[in-house]
Structure 1
Amino acid sequence: MRRWDRRAFLQTSGLALAATAAGRVWATPSETPAMLTRAIPRTQEALPVIGMGTWQTFDVGPGVAERAPLEEVLRAFAALGGTLVDSSPMYGQSEEVLGALAVKTGLQPKLFTATKVWTSGKAEGLRQMEDSLRKLRTQRLDLMQVHNLVDAATHLDTLQAWKEQGRVRYVGVTHYTASAHEAVAKLLLSRPVDFVQINYSVGEREAEQRLLSVARDQGIAVIANRPFAGGGLLQRLKRKPLPPWASELDCDSWAQLLLKFVISHPAVTCAIPATSKVSHLRDNMKAGLGRLPDEKLRARIAAEAA
């Protein structure tokens, strides 16, 4: 799993904070643009603000023609500063494809690999998690999450033991619908989890009502899934001109503007758009560079995207 020594962490954190305060792209000492990061509250480990999901996109067969574009996507993701890649056993072949490509490219040690447990019962949960480790070709995961709160109490007990044994570094829970936010909030207030993954975008703002503040108050990192509302936002906006003031946020596409709305919320740690195209990946990753919107500009983004 990815590791940060103290000096590198302090340099990275300091640069990120300076960039946020100054409202500009922060850079490494060599002045190469580097992605903004947020600290994982439990440990203060720095995590790049743009990650990558694998739902549908990595669910492909074993053929070279099917996997070659995804290998290119994974290489570009890492080269542009991405680390967190999220998968699940419910995503078809995605875990297996991600694991194979991470090993083939030599990127596995540099990635922050997250997946989920999505079943009922302790024995079945253990079997599924062991299977995920095998598919992802690792003995230790960065993050294991209870998917959609399915048998959450049982699996969180197992994962606490795994964490103590060093088999997983972080533990979390997920959901992708607003109707479950209250149940998620109650769990965050009652169980010691490190991450919560929920739907959040300009088009799905229900998490702002309570859940994001609960996560922030409890010191829990937030992964935002569906940052484009399942692609619906981009589809609706593709024929609408980008507002001229988008340049104030160093944005030259709707995807970047929508992602910056998500990652600018103070409770959000990372957003995970999914793609199988390098051109889209590069566009998404640019959202992690440059200036972020303040509350006034967040409101303008929301109004333009309405």
Structure 2
Amino acid sequence: MKRIDRAHSIFDTPTPGRRAFLRVAAGAALCMGTDASFATDAAIEPMHKRPIPSTGEALPIVGCGTWRTFDVGDDPARRRELAAVLRVLFAAGGSVIDSSPMYGSSEAVAGALLTEMNARDKAFIATKVWTEGRDEGIAQMRQSMQRLAAPRIDLMQIHNLLDWRTQLATLRDWKAAGRVRYIGVTHYTSSAFPQVEAVLRSERIDFVQINYAANDRDAEARLLPLAAERGVAVIVNQPFGGGSLLASLRGKPLPAFAGDIGCASWAQLLLKFVLGNAAVTCVIPGTGRREYMIDNVHAGMGVYPDAALRRRIAQAVA
């Protein structure tokens, strides 16, 4: 089956063996009916967490994006598969689910699944406002809260900086009123980095979400160091180069050094490349298949590449 999904230096935690990973995978394969079994296996090594700089709250470092993958409407079979994806995420100690009103039915599907699973307290829900105008922004955010069945949103972000000055004023009011816990901005293209940098320099926000991957390293030059300097948490989208990077590596042997940091797949190696940067707080690869989620959460465990090994990973995928 083909896979196309939408730091510090090395930790002291021991790298989990391949046998442990296969036990997690075996448990997850049964997760629709035996969640407790998977939770026990996943607990062999819980997912690492990193602090949100503005508060110190610990956030699991691998989450789940919902662009395209959760836009399934009322399809019952696909919803069951997505429920399995979320069970794997939670059993491995993850929590971050990132969505947007521009992602079709994704917000509504995520909200319905969390309600059906009685799992709202396990999730760190991040979504976005993506419109112009104060009243329009408020209406859209209220609609997102309805769709997500969430009386409070953990992280509200200004999607692609659209009308960001207007929306940021509202987000600050909502944060003060307790409707949202954290606020931030997002973009998914490197061409927008100058604008993102300007916001980071001029405004106090909790999070920034940007694109970053082993073949898309523009963020390393200025944005990631600036976020660290300004005490802003970083969520990374498109860690697989929008899916094209994984596709280009299909059939290519995994480098021998991948085993040194506990990686059994290209997806794990690409995620650990991103997480090897100390400025990154969380990565949100999108997936709609539980076996891919199993693969992804494994990247939240074990050790991470130092600068020299990250250069070798970038060379390996060039």
- With normalisation by structure 1, the TM-score equals 0.91
Task: Report the number of matched residues.
Answer: 287
Distance in 2 of aligned mates of 1:163 and 1:103: 24
- Partners of 1:235 and 1:32 lie apart in 2 by 31
User: SS of the residue aligned with 1:231?
Assistant: helix
Aligned counterpart in structure 2 of residue 44 of structure 1, from 56, 68, 71: 56
Which of 159, 162, 177 is the matching residue for 2:171?
Answer: 159
AA aligned opposite 2:282: C
Where does structure 1 lack aligned partners over 5 or more consecutive residues? 1-15
Output the CA distance in 2 between the equivalents of 1:250 and 1:75: 23
- Mapping 1:190-209, distance limit 5 Å: 190-209=202-221
Q: Which has the higher contact order (CA 8 A, sep 6+)?
A: 2
Name the CA distance, whole Å, in 1 between partners of 2:13 and 2:111.
Answer: 37
The structural deviation recorded for 1:138 is: 1.1
**1:66-105 maps to which residues of 2 (within 5 A)?**
66-105=78-117
Q: Distance in 2 between matches of 1:105 and 1:118?
A: 28
Deviation at 1:21, TM superposition (A): 4.1
Residues 29-57 of structure 1: CA deviation (Å, up to 9, x unaligned): x9731111110000111111101100000
RMSD: 1.7
Report deviation, 1:63. Answer: 2.9
Structure 2 portions without partners, runs of 5+: 1-6, 17-40
Q: Which runs of 4+ in 1 moved over 2 A?
A: 23-26
Normalised by the length of structure 2, the TM-score is: 0.88
Task: Identify the residue that residue 118 of structure 1 maps to in structure 2.
Answer: 130
d(CA) in 2 for partners of 1:150 and 1:49? 27
Identity %: 52
Which amino acid in structure 1 is aligned with residue 304 of structure 2?
Answer: L
Residue 257 (1) aligns with residue 247 (2)? no
Structure 2 residue aligned with 1:176: 188
Is structure 2 residue 247 aligned with structure 1 residue 218? no
Partner of 2:120: 108
1:242-301 residue CA offsets vs partner (Å, 9 max, x unmatched)? 011111000010000000000110110000000011111100110011110011110110
- What is the match of residue 162 of structure 2? 150
1:23–1:292 contact (8 Å) kept in structure 2: no
Structure 2 residue aligned with 1:248, among 217, 238, 260?
260
What amino acid maps onto 2:250 in structure 1?
A: K
Match of 1:155, SS state, is helix
